[in-house]
Amino acid sequence: MRYDVARSDLERLLDGEPRYRADQVWRGLHQRGLDPEEMTDLPKALRARLGEVLRPALALVAESESDAGDTVKSLWSLAGGRRIETVLMQYHDRVTVCISSQAGCGMGCVFCATGQAGLSGQLTMGEIVEQVIRARRRAEPRRLGNVVFMGMGEPLANYAAVWAAIERLHDDVGISARRITVSTVGLVPGIRRLAGERLPVNLAVSLHAANDTLRDRLVPVNRRYPLAVLAAACREYTEATGRRLSFEWAMIAGVNDQPSDATELAAIARPLHAHVNLIPLNPTPGYATRGTPAAGVQAFRDRLEKLGVNATVRDNRGTDIDAACGQLAASAIAAPANLTP
Ligand code: SAH
Ligand code: SF4
């Protein structure tokens, strides 16, 4: 598939062509996101031949917009019947794409629609990269600057493909690692491995609970990597990379939004200088509990700030089109009116 091709594969494909061709095509694909057919500086026959070989991996099934077009959710179909979603979010000062790292997810967090659906397949490096390329073109004339691995899947459970995609994005697509955020449920070996890589990405850890009893229940993976072990891996990460660490905290009414939860969270976040992102729980079919009302979220934030922890209430984009965090299930087919050929 198009972005799974290595530079050396492309050179082999262009055997017999002038040497500069490989550069030309590589740049066209990565920097400009062109289809080979659009590379008008290539001879026509070559364009057609490359178009045959470098087929795109993602086929658009449906697209839906909300927030007056500022949030765009795309449902893609991939080889083997896998389906994934990406969400493009345009803010006044930046454009961010939220990409998937797996089709579904096997981590089983109880409140997450992707987790409720289970894992249906891994993504390849090229399938991850192509999501960014497509989003960047969709965002034009605005400039896509940020990539977050907060779509479907657990990135550290598909480590090799995710890391190769990050390198490709940084080295060839022109998106600096500093503008890439990997969000993880807390797979400790993956965090450690990430700490040793050559490029420093931002790390977001989906905490949601700051004591093991509650976290075991909400995030089953906690039974394997409990909080003390996770916090130690987070420290290793920030010390090795110098990047900012953030904790994601979905606010669940009556479950993790009490003053004692803020106190426990602060005890973990403060020594790590972690930033906390608060996001009211998005309703999903498989979890009956509701999100904390806005006033409760604000009070929780104020309490964290008083305890010396920086916290932001995250703007919750695309809730009405099921494009918000945790709502991605790749099952809904948009009405034909939303279908973009
Ligand atoms: N698997 C990774 C990345 C994808 S999930 C992870 O868990 O970090 C992206 C974010 O959405 C995570 O912070 C996750 O905890 C959060 N999330 C999942 N379900 C949610 C829901 N129903 N409401 C709000 N946030 C949710
Ligand atoms: Fe998977 Fe993340 Fe959802 Fe948990 S929150 S089930 S790790 S996608």
Give 135-163 pLDDT, tens digit per residue: 999 999 999 999 999 999 999 999 999 99
Instruction: Classify the C-alpha dihedral 173-191-233-208 as positive or negative.
Output: positive
Do the bridges between strand 311-313 and strand 71-77 make them parallel or antiparallel, or are there none, so unpaired?
Answer: unpaired
Q: Which ligand is nearest to the CA of 252?
A: 1
Active-site residue 234, yes or no? no
Q: How much is the pLDDT for 58?
A: 98
Q: Which ligand is nearest to the CA of 206?
A: 1
Residue ranges around ligand 2 (CB below 6 Å): 105, 107-109, 112, 114-115, 153-154, 185, 206
The Cα–Cα gap between 15 and 199 comes to 32
For the chain, residues classed under CATH 3.20.20.70 are 59-321
336: pLDDT strictly greater than 70: no
Distance in Å, CA 148 to ligand 1 centroid: 12
329: pLDDT strictly greater than 80: yes
What amino acid is encoded at 211 in this protein?
N
Instruction: Fold for 59-321, please state it.
Output: TIM Barrel (3.20.20)
248: pLDDT strictly greater than 90: yes
Q: Which of 87, 112, 188 to mutate to test the pocket of ligand 2 (most atoms within 8 A of CB)?
A: 112
Q: How much is the pLDDT for 282?
A: 93
322: pLDDT strictly greater than 90: no
Give 258-317 pLDDT, tens digit per residue: 999 999 999 999 999 999 999 999 999 899 899 999 999 999 999 999 999 999 999 778
Contact predicate 245/205, CB 8 Å? yes
Do the bridges between strand 71-77 and strand 59-66 make them parallel or antiparallel, or are there none, so unpaired?
Answer: antiparallel
* pLDDT, mean of residues 217-244: 97
For the chain, residues classed under CATH 1.10.150.530 are 2-53
> What CATH class has 2-53?
mainly alpha
Predicted confidence band at 340 (pLDDT cuts at 50, 70, 90)?
very low
pTM value? 0.95
Q: Is 177 left (phi over 0), alpha (psi -120 to 50) or beta?
A: alpha
Active-site position among 85, 127, 130, 154 = 85
Distance in Å, CA 155 to ligand 2 centroid: 10
Active-site residue 85, yes or no? yes
Q: What angle do CA 114, 116, 117 make, to 5 degrees?
A: 65
Could you identify the atom of ligand 2 that is nearest to the CA of residue 183?
Answer: 2
Q: Which ligand is nearest to the CA of 207?
A: 1
Q: What DSSP assignment string belongs to 280-324?
A: EPPPBTTB-PPBPPHHHHHHHHHHHHHTT--EEEPP-TTGGGT-S
Give 50-96 pLDDT, tens digit per residue: 999 999 999 999 999 998 889 999 999 999 999 999 999 999 999 99
Which residue's CA is minimally distant from atom 4 of ligand 2?
A: 109
Distance in Å, CA 109 to ligand 2 centroid: 6
